[in-house]
Amino acid sequence: MLVESYDFGRIVVGGREYRSDVVVGDEIIVENWWRKEGHRICVEDLEWLDKIDAEVIIFGTGAYGRVKVDEEVMKLLEKRGIKVLIEQSSKAVEKFNELKKRGKRVVLAIHLTC
C-alpha cells in the first residue's frame, strides 16, 4: 500500500484519508498516533513495534521537521536490525513510496503538521 498524497495535516493511504499522525506498514496502520511528548519520539511511543516485520522505519518529522527522535529509539531499532531514516514529512512519503516500489519492508511513522 502506497501513500497516495500528503499535504500539511492530511495524508491518503489505501484510498483512506487521515488527518492525524499515523503509522503505516504492510501489517499495520496506527491511526491517531500520539506520542508521550508531541514533538519527540521515545521508546514508549513504539508500542506497535512488535507487530511489524520491517527492514526500514521512516520517521516523518513534520512539514518543518519539528519532531525529534530520541537516541534510545535509534539504538533499539539498530539492535533489532532495522534501518532508520529521519526526514521531513514530504520527503519521508517520497522515500516510503520509493522503497515500497522496490519491494522493501518499510514502515512510515509520520507527523502530519509542523
Question: Which residue is listed with cell 489505501?
Answer: 14
pLDDT tens sequence across 2-58: 999 999 999 999 999 999 999 999 989 999 999 999 899 999 999 999 999 999 999
pLDDT value for 24: 97
| Percent of the chain at pLDDT exceeding 70 | 100
pLDDT band at 107 (very low <50, low <70, confident <90, very high): very high
pLDDT value for 27: 87
Backbone angles phi, psi at 84, to 5 degrees: -120, 130
pLDDT tens sequence across 32-47: 999 999 899 999 999 9
CA angle 28, 32, 34 (to 5 degrees): 105
d(CA 84, CA 104): 13
pLDDT value for 111: 98
Name 13's bridge partners: 3, 16
Q: The pTM is what?
A: 0.96
Reply yes or no on whether the pLDDT at 86 is more than 90: yes
d(CA 110, CA 23): 6
The class of domain 3-110 in CATH terms is: alpha beta
Centre a 10 Å sphere on the Cβ of residue 55 and count the other Cβ atoms it contains.
13
Three cell numbers written together for 39? 514533538
